[in-house]
Structure 1
Amino acid sequence: MSNNTASNTTFKALVVEETSDGEFKKSIKERSVSDLPDNDLLIKVHYSSLNYKDAMSASGNKRITKHYPHTPGIDAAGVVVSDKSGTFAEGQKVVVFGYDLGMDTPGGLGQMISIPADWAIECPESLTLKEAMIYGTGGLTAALSVQKLEKMGAKPSDGEVAVTGATGGVGSISIAILKQLGYDVIAFSGKPEQSEHLKELGASEVRHRDTINEIGSKPIGRELWANAIDTVGGDYLANLLKQTKAGGAVTSCGLAASPELSMTVIPFITRAVSLLGIDSVYIPLTDKKAIWERVATDMKLPNLESYGEEITLEQTPEYLDRFIAGKTVGRYVVNVKG
């Protein structure tokens, strides 16, 4: 497709607009490629996925997206239309996670995106574009969390791994990957009605999330799990650390409960517990390619389709509202191409 032809191409996108009274309105609109930023790589998006960050952008969170109107979508999987840098060939299948996509750069909830070429990686042959988005940023974050625990020496024989926010995108994929790699998982959730679902994903045991906080204000508690993956932050993260076994580690990748961390350093200096930060947005492209190869090989989940609910682009406003209301379960894959 020539540059002139591409610039005249129209496509559908979710557009979030700020109204005169300070509210934010979500609707599906027709846009033109000429509305997109002038970057090297133009991609026709086939699938995207929904993440909590997309919901924050769509609700007008200025810490995520500064300028409106805007198209959210921090994930995209599609086919290259053109690449002025020469990195990718026309028709090549690629995936995009993180960087500024869906934040202040129009994102994957539009049928076309224009990005720097070094934001994209080739989609592994063992994954379809839809499967790639079943993982999405949530699955990538889960895989990075498990890998970081492994780098700290974690192994299945150490004991149970606790996972918070278990019904969410990161939590649910974390459980499944851990189970596949041979770990016993304790799933913590505020949705007891999802207990059977979590056991189907691979959890050995499901507990209510508030049991983590029964320790109260004590600086340290009994050693209950070998390692943990926290997706919610706040007191849940602090109290996970207080109850992790000596030499264990807890990864942190979310703040749905709170960005604050209030605790003493006692678990760090008396049990050598480690707090591990997880970044899936700005990690080097080489590291992103490496973890993605694991997602496509030893971390690839069987029956992958069962981990994601497919929705249409037109359904995204309703589903993004569910994130804010805390009513999501698992991963949501958006069929953008229709």
Structure 2
Amino acid sequence: MFDALMISRADGVVTTRLEQVDPTALPEGDVTVEIDHSSLNYKDALAMTRGAPVVRQFPMIPGIDLAGRVLHSDDPVHRPGDQVLATGWGLGERHWGGLARMARLPGRWLLPQPAGLSARQAMGIGTAGFTAMLCVMSLEEGGVTPTSGPIVVNGAGGGVGGMAIMLLAQLGYQVAAVTGRPQLHTYLTGLGATEVLPRDTLSPTGKVLETARWAGGIDVVGGETLATMCASVQYGGTVAACGLAGGLALPLTVAPFILRGIRLQGIDSVMCPRPRRMTAWTRLARDIDPARLDSMLHDARLADAIAIAPRILAGHIRGRTVINMV
């Protein structure tokens, strides 16, 4: 038997409990992993408190991230004792995820734990850092360099935003952090932000083009703020979009694209192909500042996750919550 958070639904009511689960109940997969660490993401918190639309079938073990040791493998790539990690691929949505002591999953979903990163650090990075790295790679591929000008990061107080600031600063970029929580000023400058701006910096003005302030941007919010960001980017700049907390609608004109030649790149961390995952995690192991990473992390036990989830949704948690299973 192993400990797991289990989301159930009965008569339309969603509940999350810490339960003991028989390993024979694990879903099909090539590899069984003993999980050392996981993390608690915004998506996990949604799943645990509301179920839909994140959870696609019940019962479900949440957790879109996991890191641990291979116990059994029918996949020739992975051997017992290997340290591995997984993010995305429907974990915690369609397939039992990482907020448990054990998991069984397809071997192709697993990556070797990068050299130089502990399991705790890997889960401190998790989907948030992986997504942030994909955003940074997108800016680089769009030709945006540290000499191009400042980069704006919206939703800076969250996991993806904080990771993006840290990575960009480490790579030599100037970073403008936009947040609705002014009390995070010291925290964000500690991660490497050169300036901290209020949320209304990206409020719509009704103009099709705003003053060209930034060489590029990373947006985790979507909606009107993403539209304003696009209208505020310099000629030839790139915006990486990876979230929708502000809504699915995008009230945008073609003006930034045909008059300034900007690029809007969507970022998907869930089904990202394995070769690009490997590249991103290699970069993360190389480019993350361990001291700054540690300043973002909060450690918790599996049993604590149920109480922490609503605090994440309410915006009361900054940075990253790492769940220690050991």
TM-score class, shorter-chain normalisation, is over 0.9
One-letter amino acid matched to 1:261: L
Equivalence map 1:1-338=2 (5 Å): 10-20=1-11, 22-213=12-203, 215-297=204-286, 299-303=287-291, 304-337=293-326
1:7: which partner in 2?
none
CA distance, structure 2, for counterparts of residue 313 and residue 238 of structure 1: 38
| Aligned position for 1:4 | none
Q: Deviations over 1:267-320 (max 9, x none)?
A: 1100011101111111111110111111111x1213132221111101111111
Find the aligned partners of 1:229 and 1:153 in 2 and give their Cα distance. 15
The answer to whether the Cα contact below 8 Å between 2:63 and 2:98 also exists between their aligned partners in 1 is: yes
SS of equivalent residue, structure 2 residue 50:
coil
State whether residues 296 and 318 of structure 2, in contact with CA within 8 Å, keep that contact through their aligned partners in structure 1. no
1:18–1:60 Cα contact (<8 Å) kept? no
Secondary structure of the structure 1 residue equivalent to 2:236: coil
Q: Residue 331 of structure 1 aligns to which amino acid in structure 2? A: R
Gaps of 5+ in 2: none
Q: Secondary structure at the match of 1:158?
A: coil
- Structure-2 residue corresponding to 1:5: none
CA distance in 2, matches of 1:48, 1:139: 13
Secondary structure, aligned partner of 2:201: helix
Structure 1 residue 242: Cα displacement: 0.7
Equivalent in the alignment of 1:3: none
Structure 1 residue 63 displacement after superposition: 3.0
Query: For the residues of structure 2 that align with 1:269 and 1:111, how far apart are their CA atoms?
Result: 52
Alpha-carbon deviation of 1:229?
Answer: 0.4
Equivalent position SS for 1:246? strand
Give, in whole Å, the separation in 2 of the partners of 1:125 and 1:224.
38
Distance 1:99 1:141 in 2: 13
Amino acid at match of 2:290: P
Residue by residue over 1:55-112, the C-alpha shift from the partner in whole angstroms, topping out at 9 and shown as x without a partner, is 2222334332121221110000000000012221111100101102111111000110
- Checking the alignment, whether the CA contact within 8 Å between 1:179 and 1:185 is kept in structure 2 is yes
The CA distance in 1 between the partners of 2:149 and 2:30, in whole Å, is 48
- Write the deviation string for residues 197-227 of structure 1: whole angstroms up to 9, x where unpaired: 11111001001111211x4221111111111
Q: 2:166, 2:288 within 8 Å by CA — same for their partners in 1?
A: no
Give the match's secondary structure for 1:296.
helix
Give CA deviations for 1:111-142 in whole Å, capped at 9, x if unaligned.
10000000001101211111100100000000
TM superposition shift of 1:325: 1.7
SS in 1 for 2:44: helix
Structure 1: distance between partners of 2:238 and 2:51: 31
